[in-house]
Structure 1
Amino acid sequence: MHSLSTAGPPQNLSHPFEKLFSRALDAPPDFVQRCWTALKEQVWHSSSSIAFSEEDILTYNTHAHPLQLSYRHIYPPVKICTTKECPHRVKSKPLVEPLTHPATLFTLREGALPVFTTSLYCRGCNIRYYHNYSVHKASETRTYYGGVPDIIHVTRHYLFETALLEHFATSKVFAWVSSLNCARIYNSSMASLHAHILNNELAHADTIHLYERPPSSWPTSMDIRGEYVLDGFFLYSLLLDKAEHGAPLVLKHDEANKDRLKKAIHDRNKQTEGTGQEFYPHACDDCFMILEDENVKIHPAVCDGITLGHPCCAIHNCKDPLPGHRGRFCVEHAKLFDKLCAVLDCEAEHRHNRRTCPDVDHAALEDQHIQRGKAMFQLRAKLKRANISVPLDSAPDDGATVVHDQEDEIEVEVQSTVSKKKLKAIFGRRRTHNEQLIMRPCGIIISRATFYGAEAITDVNTFAKATFPTPQSTPEFFIFDNNCQLHYWQKANHETHFENTGQPVDVFHFKSKHKESDTHCQTYCNPAAFPELIDGDKWRVNTSICEQSNVWLGGYQAILRDMEGTRFNFYLDEMIKRRNSTHV
């Protein structure tokens, strides 16, 4: 049980606890107090790692709940205000006005627990103290205490042990487990201490009755939902980041959970851009070499992209966020284009409840699109009738309504009946083009960026400069599958930032996709032209490391496909950070 006091045991048990133990032990109150007097020092200083059985917890809660107490009751970590200027702190006045409400605590080793959580108030400075944070009455600002707590309030009524959130985070890194599936796994195998018996009724037919419990009457659910897992992952990651930087996490208190986290997530994303990844300065024997004979240092970087993206504004290269999951344009472009026909270059307004204008050819184009959608729906229906379901991992990991594939960006072309010109229309949402990585040959990802319209050479150059912002930070070699075009553009535009960096194409792409007749490519980008990269008949560095890492990154395609851009970036950066830590 969490206690308000840490200095030592109280002289006497308070009346609620006296009543609780009197009922639980079926003993008179004076006997309970005598027991406390005799055993309080031993009880108070006993190990907190004592394991209680499910029967112990049920018995305790049976008598505790009517008194608004519980096993693992959640209190603030302090009983006196911590504000230095507060007059009540100076006078050591205790916090008052307790507010208690029921909640569910999801634990790693004790299952889902019905608990009460209590907050306390300081009348001297108008701050209410909760288990994780304090809230100032005037500003409604939620300030988290320093460090990372053992238990995190993910929502008002649902709390998670940090150990459980860490379990979920590592499951995401190593097994691409969506938040929805984290919740399913927990509810079926971890919420009950006897899940291994209850899940196998026939095998345990003789003893299962010993573990069956009546349906819970607790006012909050004993099941985790996927959105709680995802919100918990974001909040836990933010608290870890603030703890690493020695700063408190400050959020708005009176906003919905998703909105409350948005600014902090955005700020963390900006912090991570360019040189912000934790392992950006990494160097090891597999990626950092000194050739003593030639007095040369080699610390190469490898760049590549993967087709992984999130919904974005339909206007090419627009980086402004969408207003919602089903939006096609950002707020500004919606004012200009949301009412227009979906056919490219058509400036007429679309019909009511349709996406094309009254033009016969344009309407036919939309009809073709609709028929394709119906065909897809029919195929899915046939799968369902055959008892073949789409894998659950394909559900979005953002608490959003599923937006089916046919609602994504689809280009349709037909021959106009009026002219020979082909008509093209875009229905549904556009997605960002790809995620671009810069890595060390050992497998450490040092930087990531989202490319919106295409893997354009100018974007690669901008990304590389953000990752290596000074001439001193540029790598000796920058390996990229389209380096010949990048190098050509740099020379044509007098870009000198990477003038001391060798720019070979990776070995695989050079052999398969670059012509021998391309003089510029052969002169400046042939990997064989860089003897520092060759050791006898072997390459010193793994120039295809990005291709290999993209296999891991591609595992998040289904999980992230409908995630809002800010959360998408945070999620990927956190996965990269955690994966990097396992490679060091």
Structure 2
Amino acid sequence: MDTLRHVFDVLSYEPSLLDHITLTALHLVITLATKLKNDILAAQPPNHDPLTPPPALPDHIAVFLATVVDMNINLVPVLWHAIAGTVWQRASELDMPQEQHAWDQARADEISGDTLWPPNEYCTNTNCINFHKSLIRERDGRRRVTLYTLGGARSTFSVHLVCSACRTTYYPNYAVQQGVRSYYAPSLTVIQAAEHHYVDRPLADLFISMMLMSWTSATNVAKIYNHTFTPSHSPPLPRLNKHHVFDIFIIMSLLDDCGRQGLRLHVPHTGDQKDRFLAAMTLRNERMRIYGQPEAAHFCSKCMRTFVDADGALRTIHALVGDAVCIGHARCSADGCPIPLYSHADRFCPSHHYLNYCCAVTTCRAPTTDHRKTCGIPAHRQLEVQHQQRNTAMFQLKGVLQRQAVTHLDDASAVSAVNDAVETNNGPEVPQQSSTFIDDTDCPAKNEQGPYMKAILGRTRTHAEFTFNRPCGIIISRYTCVKAESLSSCALRELDAIGLLPDVLFYDNGCRLHRYLAKHDPSLLTKITLPVDVFHWTVKHKKNDAECSLFCNPMQFPELRTEDGWYFNSSIAEQNNVWLGAYHSIVREMSFTKYNFFLDELILRKNRLTLASLTNYAPGYLPDTE
């Protein structure tokens, strides 16, 4: 970096320069030029060393700097010779008010201190003849974009560079070759949310924190930002919307996931934005389903107990707590079908699309008539009429909104377009009741119209999410309960296969699970005990039932107790599920892939916060699964 003596000596060559430039103006020129280093470098020949300041400024940059400080253009070369070394080694700083005024003046000439450039000057394609040999060049000029920051939205420009040899195109976030985007390192300073929309990294982190800690939907995140952070601007800048916010969530989550694996994120460059990341999300979802969360192998002194038993032997007990929470997504209404819906508004998946033309009554497969969802049988048609009348009646709107747990109608699709009701001939049956509301129901009465009938006239939804929790608060995995809350041996076998089957599993329905395993998979009972947590066993279980009293009574397991009470927090699953259940209205209209990706990522980030609070409890990882 140039010394003050060097700067003074060079400026002394032109006495009029010393007489006309102030220290404030000199500092402003250095600051502005520092933020324009990429612009200056773009005008140099391909063989220029990017670590060396060029001997002269491009004409448009020289004119800009001279105009800002009201200086004769002929004095700029001398000034540049004096400050070039300082500019080239100096890091950019935050904008000062006078700088922002200067940038506002320069924007008409496509000059901006916020211009977004690719992070590399050379081609990084190892198969290219120009690999790290010559500077890559600017292509197609600059694109005007909006950069969203904690200081508000800014109008700026983005630049993409192309290698003349291999035709790899470099954008601010990624390189494109043969139709594939390859993202740079996870630590990007700005994230591209759409073609002309970028979000500063600190702001993107804030968005995700709002979703994680205050259950804020993407819609409300965008509304809060537009109302709070976006100043008046002429002409008005594009506003942030929910799609930008959620794409930021997806991109940052995928980049973080790839970073943990030492990989780069690759996605298609062509096609719709809504489909661009589906393949990468699906791969992550499948890995989470098989192996659980990254913290699945966690243990600490709050979830693992080491003690000396009555025989003097050293024993270790690992515990899990299981419970379900009533949140879910739309699924195919064909019984037992696991295939995702093509659209969240559909009743059936593509494989069962033909059922749209069959009567909606579950015991009837006659073809539909008159463009309705039922056949011509009067009793069946009456179910559909009854369903429509209930959905269009004003008094039902409150109930529909309660079942959907929607605070703002923008957070979900219009309720009239995608109704979830299942109609019966002895009153409506709602397959997915919210744990948030308790509705008044009709007085049950004997059906005078004949046998009980049920028609699936709207969508069918998954019933709940079952979570496995360490007593310390770490959520190790979850799985979707399609039709009812049930914990089968399949889920336990999956835990056993990856070395995560606990010694103790607290489950409020442990007695039924014990009865099921004793009949269908007794070998598992030699590896695991199934006590019911203390509260549920006290108030909800029969004391004369064999499973409840002999196998699931927590008092039967002295290793779970201490002199002060119970060693493990067996209520942690319900505590965690209160947090998870608050996302009910946010996730209910998500697709199968997005729903699972969103929940897995939220759990991952919550686990990080929990882990940070466990530093005093000797955290570690189980050796068999580390």
Distance 1:427 1:68, change over 3 A: same
SS at match of 1:489: helix
Q: Deviations over 1:159-216 (max 9, x none)?
A: 0111111111111111001111111111111123xxxxxxxxxxxxxxxxxxxx5631
Checking the alignment, whether the CA contact within 8 Å between 2:136 and 2:161 is kept in structure 1 is no
User: How far is the alpha carbon of 1:481 from its aligned partner?
Assistant: 1.5
Q: Which deviates further from its counterpart, 149-158 or 415-424?
A: 415-424
Matched, 1:223 2:264: no
- Pick from 453, 469, 491 the counterpart of residue 497 of structure 2: 469
User: How far is the alpha carbon of 1:281 from its aligned partner?
Assistant: 1.5
**Structure 1 segment 120-139 matched on structure 2, within 5 A:** 120-136=161-177, 139=178
Please give the alpha-carbon distance, in whole angstroms, between the structure 2 residues aligned to 1:391 and 1:466: 33
Please give the alpha-carbon distance, in whole angstroms, between the structure 2 residues aligned to 1:452 and 1:493: 21
Which residue type is aligned with residue 125 of structure 2? T
**Structure 1 segment 57-68 matched on structure 2, within 5 A:** 57-63=100-106, 65-68=107-110
**Structure 1 segment 96-135 matched on structure 2, within 5 A:** 96-108=138-150, 110-135=151-176
Please give the alpha-carbon distance, in whole angstroms, between the structure 2 residues aligned to 1:433 and 1:352: 32
Q: Deviations over 1:272-331 (max 9, x none)?
A: 124331211211221111113552212101111111001111123322111112101110
Please give the alpha-carbon distance, in whole angstroms, between the structure 1 residues aligned to 2:416 and 2:603: 28
SS at match of 2:425: strand
Checking the alignment, whether the CA contact within 8 Å between 2:425 and 2:447 is kept in structure 1 is no
SS at match of 2:234: coil
Matched, 1:80 2:122: yes
Matched, 1:20 2:52: no
Matched, 1:42 2:95: no
Matched, 1:436 2:479: no
Distance 1:498 1:158, change over 3 A: farther
Q: Which deviates further from its counterpart, 426-435 or 408-417?
A: 408-417
Matched, 1:185 2:213: no
Matched, 1:412 2:424: yes
User: How far is the alpha carbon of 1:402 from its aligned partner?
Assistant: 3.3
Q: Which deviates further from its counterpart, 482-491 or 162-171?
A: 482-491
Distance 1:316 1:391, change over 3 A: closer
Please give the alpha-carbon distance, in whole angstroms, between the structure 2 residues aligned to 1:520 and 1:491: 10
Distance 1:391 1:301, change over 3 A: closer
Please give the alpha-carbon distance, in whole angstroms, between the structure 2 residues aligned to 1:146 and 1:101: 23
Please give the alpha-carbon distance, in whole angstroms, between the structure 1 residues aligned to 2:604 and 2:96: 36
SS at match of 2:589: coil
- Pick from 455, 459, 464 the counterpart of residue 485 of structure 2: 455
User: How far is the alpha carbon of 1:21 from its aligned partner?
Assistant: 2.2
Which residue type is aligned with residue 100 of structure 1? R
In structure 1, the residue matched to 2:575 is 548
SS at match of 1:435: strand
Checking the alignment, whether the CA contact within 8 Å between 1:447 and 1:467 is kept in structure 2 is no
**Structure 1 segment 268-279 matched on structure 2, within 5 A:** 268-279=284-295
User: How far is the alpha carbon of 1:353 from its aligned partner?
Assistant: 3.5
Structure 2 length normalisation: TM-score? 0.82
Please give the alpha-carbon distance, in whole angstroms, between the structure 2 residues aligned to 1:302 and 1:457: 12
SS at match of 2:80: helix
Checking the alignment, whether the CA contact within 8 Å between 1:80 and 1:95 is kept in structure 2 is no
Distance 1:25 1:280, change over 3 A: same
In structure 2, the residue matched to 1:338 is 356
Matched, 1:149 2:168: no
In structure 1, the residue matched to 2:24 is none
SS at match of 2:55: coil
Checking the alignment, whether the CA contact within 8 Å between 1:361 and 1:417 is kept in structure 2 is no
User: How far is the alpha carbon of 1:144 from its aligned partner?
Assistant: 0.8
Structure 1: segments with no counterpart, 5+ residues: 193-212, 384-389
Q: Deviations over 1:434-469 (max 9, x none)?
A: 1010001111101111121222343xx222222332
Q: Which deviates further from its counterpart, 406-415 or 120-129?
A: 406-415
Matched, 1:309 2:328: yes
Please give the alpha-carbon distance, in whole angstroms, between the structure 2 residues aligned to 1:525 and 1:89: 66
Checking the alignment, whether the CA contact within 8 Å between 2:57 and 2:77 is kept in structure 1 is yes
Report how many aligned residue pairs link the two structures: 543
Checking the alignment, whether the CA contact within 8 Å between 1:299 and 1:475 is kept in structure 2 is yes
Checking the alignment, whether the CA contact within 8 Å between 2:329 and 2:589 is kept in structure 1 is yes
Checking the alignment, whether the CA contact within 8 Å between 2:160 and 2:172 is kept in structure 1 is yes
User: How far is the alpha carbon of 1:578 from its aligned partner?
Assistant: 1.0
Which residue type is aligned with residue 128 of structure 1? T
Q: Deviations over 1:497-537 (max 9, x none)?
A: 45221111122222222212311332211111111111236
In structure 1, the residue matched to 2:339 is 320
Please give the alpha-carbon distance, in whole angstroms, between the structure 2 residues aligned to 1:417 and 1:525: 40
Which residue type is aligned with residue 365 of structure 2? E
Please give the alpha-carbon distance, in whole angstroms, between the structure 2 residues aligned to 1:215 and 1:254: 33
Please give the alpha-carbon distance, in whole angstroms, between the structure 2 residues aligned to 1:339 and 1:237: 40
Checking the alignment, whether the CA contact within 8 Å between 1:476 and 1:501 is kept in structure 2 is yes
Checking the alignment, whether the CA contact within 8 Å between 1:274 and 1:463 is kept in structure 2 is no
Checking the alignment, whether the CA contact within 8 Å between 1:107 and 1:164 is kept in structure 2 is yes
Q: CA RMSD in A?
A: 2.5
User: How far is the alpha carbon of 1:96 from its aligned partner?
Assistant: 4.5
Please give the alpha-carbon distance, in whole angstroms, between the structure 2 residues aligned to 1:565 and 1:555: 19
Q: Deviations over 1:330-353 (max 9, x none)?
A: 100112x11111112111122334
In structure 2, the residue matched to 1:283 is 299
Distance 1:116 1:226, change over 3 A: same
Matched, 1:297 2:325: no
User: How far is the alpha carbon of 1:76 from its aligned partner?
Assistant: 1.0
Matched, 1:95 2:118: no
Which residue type is aligned with residue 112 of structure 2? S
Please give the alpha-carbon distance, in whole angstroms, between the structure 2 residues aligned to 1:377 and 1:122: 64
Q: Deviations over 1:358-405 (max 9, x none)?
A: 211111111111111122477569x9xxxxxx99744465xx743459
Q: Deviations over 1:134-180 (max 9, x none)?
A: 111xx200111123200111211000111111111111111001111
In structure 2, the residue matched to 1:567 is 594
Which residue type is aligned with residue 61 of structure 1? D
Checking the alignment, whether the CA contact within 8 Å between 1:279 and 1:446 is kept in structure 2 is yes
Please give the alpha-carbon distance, in whole angstroms, between the structure 2 residues aligned to 1:575 and 1:371: 39
In structure 1, the residue matched to 2:203 is 164
Matched, 1:478 2:505: yes
Which residue type is aligned with residue 276 of structure 1? G
Please give the alpha-carbon distance, in whole angstroms, between the structure 2 residues aligned to 1:395 and 1:134: 39
Please give the alpha-carbon distance, in whole angstroms, between the structure 2 residues aligned to 1:147 and 1:414: 56
Which residue type is aligned with residue 373 of structure 2? R
**Structure 1 segment 204-243 matched on structure 2, within 5 A:** 215-216=234-235, 221-243=237-259
SS at match of 1:468: helix
Q: Which deviates further from its counterpart, 477-486 or 125-134?
A: 477-486
Larger radius of gyration: 2
Checking the alignment, whether the CA contact within 8 Å between 1:99 and 1:120 is kept in structure 2 is no
SS at match of 1:142: strand
User: How far is the alpha carbon of 1:492 from its aligned partner?
Assistant: 1.3
- Pick from 380, 400, 410 the counterpart of residue 362 of structure 1: 380
Which residue type is aligned with residue 463 of structure 1? A
In structure 2, the residue matched to 1:199 is none
User: How far is the alpha carbon of 1:236 from its aligned partner?
Assistant: 0.8
Please give the alpha-carbon distance, in whole angstroms, between the structure 2 residues aligned to 1:99 and 1:251: 25
- Pick from 545, 563, 587 the counterpart of residue 518 of structure 1: 545
Distance 1:331 1:170, change over 3 A: same
